[in-house]
Amino acid sequence: MKIAVIGYGAIGSFVIGHLTAEPSIEVSAVFSLPPPSACPAPVVGSVKDLLSTRPDLVVECAGHQALKETGEAVLRSGTDLLVVSVGALADLTLE
C-alpha cells in the first residue's frame, strides 16, 4: 500500500516512523511546510506533487488550516483521505 502524508510535526513524524517500519507500506511522499530537513520518506513541494506519486491513501497530520487548504484537492483526485485534525470538521469558521 502506498501512503502519502501531509505534515511532519509531532504527529506526522510519529505516523511516518511507524509506517516506514511496516514492510508492506510504502510512504510515497511527505508534504510539509516548512519542508523537513531530515525525513525517512521523499519530501515534495506541493500537494500536487504529493498526489502525483499516486498514493492509495493520504494521511493529514498538519492541522485545521492544512486540512482546509489541501483536503479538497486530495478528495477531488479520487484519493482516500484520513483526517487526523478531526476538529476541523466541526469548525464552522472553516467553511
Question: How many independent structural domains does the chain possess?
Answer: 1
Residue 82 belongs to domain spanning: 2-94
pTM over 0.85, yes/no: yes
Q: What whole-number distance in Å separates Cα of residue 32 and Cα of residue 67?
A: 12
Q: What is the CATH number of the domain that holds 14?
A: 3.40.50.720
Helix, strand or coil, per DSSP, at residue 38: coil
Tell me which residue of 30, 25, 29, 26 sits closest to 9, measured CA to CA: 30
Q: Report pLDDT digits (tens) over 27-83.
A: 999 999 999 989 999 999 999 999 999 999 999 999 888 998 999 999 999 999 999
Band the pLDDT of 24: cuts 50, 70, 90. very high
Please compute the mean of the pLDDT values over residues 19-29 and round it to a whole number. 96
Q: Which three cell numbers stand for residue 85?
A: 485534525
**Res. 94: pLDDT tops 60:** no
